[in-house]
Structure 1
């Protein structure tokens, strides 16, 4: 069943890209690689939701969905944040939402929360958020401490 699903996804992506390359009545903005990545991530999430044997597949689907949306936003929206800290924030959001809240796994929730906070505090734009400015200046300097905490948690968890 797994190879059949992967084969269908690859064939669909190939069809969309073939249509795009041949100029067949599909908008190039509609079928960009970013949206194909996001759609693939969404399909993987739905597949993993109905197959409880693959608990980590949902997290990978969330990461693909988040990265696809982020790449689409970088190319289409002028003020989209392009700082590297969006990557750990996307991965952390996937762990927190799909692993921690939906799958009810405390370890995934903790890892997701820490990675999301790491991405938030490493982002230079956090100082512009009202109410967070005093704390954000300190946290923007000490965000590597979140990495130390995450590494220690993962190394010494029971």
Structure 2
């Protein structure tokens, strides 16, 4: 990072406010003095660096850290929030798509992870919607992870530009 003033400034302000409020012993804020809050502070610093200093490569780690921190805060407080690996992949997809918006690269990866997260998050509902359990396709459907491995192997070992 060329100009780290945004990153350093947000980190110092965020950590300073975090520790000051922790020492203040405000009862309402006590549940938020955990490691996910520190992830959010670091993620927001990356986002300010990415958007404020126009260092767009910092957007992806900013979205990932902020998203993971928010997830760990919200997952035990909201019943509707899914505690599923699909959420982490969705956060990654969002980061890639936001970075693509500024850099013009990563659209394919962002859409791929978005599709995978939707598939994982709504897997049970999609089986019911498509009637896969009733028509014998369920045995084939169990092998979709193998399909992902094969496609990944294709991109890694076979496809050359």
Q: 1:60 to 1:18 in 2, by over 3 A?
A: same
Q: Where does structure 2 lack aligned partners over 5 or more consecutive residues? A: none
Q: How does 1:3-152 map to 2 (within 5 A)?
A: 5-6=7-8, 8-10=10-12, 12-24=14-26, 27-29=29-31, 32-52=34-54, 54-95=55-96, 97-105=97-105, 108-123=106-121, 125-128=122-125, 133-134=129-130, 141=142, 142-150=144-152, 152=154
Q: TM-score, normalised by structure 2?
A: 0.69
State the SS of the aligned residue for 2:30.
coil
**TM-score w.r.t. length of structure 1:** 0.70
- Residues 55 and 140 (structure 1 numbering): CA distance in 2 closer, same or farther, change over 3 Å? farther
Work out the CA distance in 2 between the residues paired with 1:134 and 1:39.
Answer: 42
Residue 46 of structure 1 aligns to a residue whose secondary structure is helix
Quick one: structure 1 residues 140 and 9, their matched pair in 2 at CA, closer, same or farther if it must change by over 3 Å? Answer: farther
When the two chains are superposed, the root-mean-square deviation of aligned CA atoms in Å is 3.4
Per-residue CA deviation, residues 37-58 of structure 1 (Å, 9 max, x unaligned), is: 3344234223212333x33211
